């Protein structure tokens, strides 16, 4: 299928300029990337979904967006995205968040429930950080400050990808570039935001009426399939999909499969799901 035309805006929201890419025409869907990444993890989906108005911002402090000194909380990322939708004249959208983007998606649903037409939670979890996970984030922040993001990127890469993806330059090269290019303030801000985030498990049952799909890479070492199964079981009616040949970054590791999954899922959301 032909590539959709890419439109990139800079939108001023809550004291920061966000880079926001749009492609396609149709019911709006909002893509939320993970850490320390940017909107280009959704490249295949943005270029090939076509029948949807795909909206993919770079979160504050990452990608081509502005890097404010503060405001790095999961709640602020969610508010930024509501302001992005306001600026684009979108009331309700399908929400699709990966990993940290999933935390933001769950927070968005908690605050702006009537703006969520449907939900895709990809390679993510509802649990807050354990004390050990919070400690590990503090240690990672220290290493990023002392040794730089090139070093931290090399440590993170093997955990992010399935073994077979690690040998594919078409996956590793853009990922490495994206991670190394993350501004230090945005990297540290996101670590703090994730460390301080609340536990979303209590709100999962209430997501029920919203059509929801949980997607996880079969080799995801960061948010493994066991977590995805538990999360999906807690959301009434949720559909669970485990994707072979993928670790933590399903849309980059299995791009065509991801695009097809989304097309099929959103195709089944009744038109009333989008107001
Ligand atoms: C992400 O991919 O966004 C992060 O790995 C999530 C996390 O560290 O909790």
Share of the chain above pLDDT 90, in %: 93
HSE, side-chain direction, 13 A CA sphere, residue 164 = 11
> For 10-26, what is the mean pLDDT?
96
- pLDDT of 272 > 80? The answer is no
> For 248-268, what is the mean pLDDT?
97
- For residue 76, CA distances in Å to 59, 91, 233 come to 10, 18, 28
The per-residue pLDDT for 235 is 97
Pocket of ligand 1 (CB under 6 A): 34-35, 99-100, 194, 222, 248
Q: Which of 74, 221, 223 to mutate to test the pocket of ligand 1 (most atoms within 8 A of CB)?
A: 223
Question: Among 3-7, 172-176, 260-264, which stretch is predicted with the lowest mean pLDDT?
Answer: 3-7
Which residue is listed with tokens 């439109």? 7
Angle CA 73–60–157, to nearest 5: 90
- pLDDT of 66 > 70? The answer is yes
Return the SS3 of 221.
coil
CA distance 36 to 75: 17
Return the residue whose CA atom lies nearest to atom 9 of ligand 1.
Answer: 100
Return the residue whose CA atom lies nearest to atom 5 of ligand 1.
Answer: 35
**Under a CB-based contact definition with an 8 Å cutoff, are residues 94 and 49 in contact?**
no
CA distance 273 to 239: 16
Q: Calculate Rg over the CA atoms of the chain.
A: 17
Residue 35 CA, closest ligand 1 atom number:
3
CATH superfamily of 6-273: Alpha/Beta hydrolase fold, catalytic domain (3.40.50.1820)
Q: In this structure, what token pair is assigned to residue 17? A: 């300029």
Phi, psi of 33 (to 5 degrees): -80, 170
**Under a CB-based contact definition with an 8 Å cutoff, are residues 124 and 101 in contact?**
yes
The per-residue pLDDT for 4 is 81
Residue 146 CB neighbours (<10 A): 9
Greater confidence (272 vs 248) lies with 248
What are the helix (H) ranges across 163-254?
163-166, 169-180, 184-195, 225-233, 250-253
Share of the chain above pLDDT 70, in %: 97
Residue 11 CB neighbours (<10 A): 17
Dist. CA 215 → ligand 1 center (Å)? 15
pLDDT band for 92, please (50, 70, 90 cuts): very high
The pLDDT tens digits of the residues spanning 93-137 come to 999 999 999 999 999 999 999 999 999 999 999 999 999 999 999
> For 143-152, what is the mean pLDDT?
98
Dist. CA 49 → ligand 1 center (Å)? 25
Length, in residues, of the chain:
275
The per-residue pLDDT for 208 is 87
**Burial of 183 by CB count in 10 Å (0-12 exposed, 13-18 middle, 19+ buried)?**
middle
For all residues of the chain together, what is the average pLDDT? Answer: 96
The pLDDT tens digits of the residues spanning 165-217 come to 999 999 999 999 999 999 999 999 999 999 999 999 999 999 988 999 999 99
Domain ranges of the chain: 6-273
Phi, psi of 185 (to 5 degrees): -65, -40
Look at the alpha carbons of 198, 77, 67, 150 in this order and tell me if their dihedral is positive or negative. positive
Q: Is 15 left (phi over 0), alpha (psi -120 to 50) or beta?
A: left
CA distance 46 to 209: 27
Q: Please state the pTM of the whole predicted model.
A: 0.97
pLDDT band for 275, please (50, 70, 90 cuts): low
The per-residue pLDDT for 3 is 75
pLDDT band for 1, please (50, 70, 90 cuts): low
Dist. CA 125 → ligand 1 center (Å)? 9
Return the SS3 of 243.
strand
The per-residue pLDDT for 273 is 61
The per-residue pLDDT for 274 is 62
- For residue 136, CA distances in Å to 82, 160, 220 come to 30, 16, 19
């Amino acid at each position: 299928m032909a590539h959709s035309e890419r439109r990139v805006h800079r939108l001023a929201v809550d004291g920061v300029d966000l880079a926001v890419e749009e492609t396609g025409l149709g019911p709006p869907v909002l893509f939320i990337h993970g850490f320390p990444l940017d909107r280009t993890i959704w490249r295949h989906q943005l270029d090939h979904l076509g029948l949807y108005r795909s909206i993919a911002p770079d979160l504050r402090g990452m990608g081509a967006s502005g890097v404010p000194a503060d405001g790095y909380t999961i709640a602020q990322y969610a508010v930024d995205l509501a302001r992005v939708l306001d600026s684009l004249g979108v009331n309700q959208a399908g929400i699709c968040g990966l990993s940290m983007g999933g935390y933001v998606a769950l927070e968005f649903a908690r605050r702006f429930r009537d703006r969520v037409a449907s939900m895709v939670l990809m390679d993510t979890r509802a649990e807050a950080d354990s004390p050990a996970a919070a400690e590990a984030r503090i240690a990672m922040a220290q290493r990023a400050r002392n040794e730089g993001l090139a070093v931290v990127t090399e440590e993170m890469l093997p955990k992010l990808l399935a073994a077979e993806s690690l040998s594919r330059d078409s996956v590793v090269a853009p990922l490495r570039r994206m991670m190394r290019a993350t501004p230090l303030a945005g990297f540290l801000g996101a670590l703090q935001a994730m460390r301080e985030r609340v536990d979303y498990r209590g709100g999962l049952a209430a997501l029920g009426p919203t059509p929801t799909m949980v997607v996880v890479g079969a080799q995801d070492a960061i948010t493994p399939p066991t977590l995805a199964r538990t999360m999906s079981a807690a959301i009434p009616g949720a559909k669970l999909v485990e994707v072979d040949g993928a670790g933590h970054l399903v849309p980059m590791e299995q791009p065509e499969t991801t695009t097809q999954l989304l097309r099929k899922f959103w195709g089944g959301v009744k038109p009333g799901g989008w107001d």
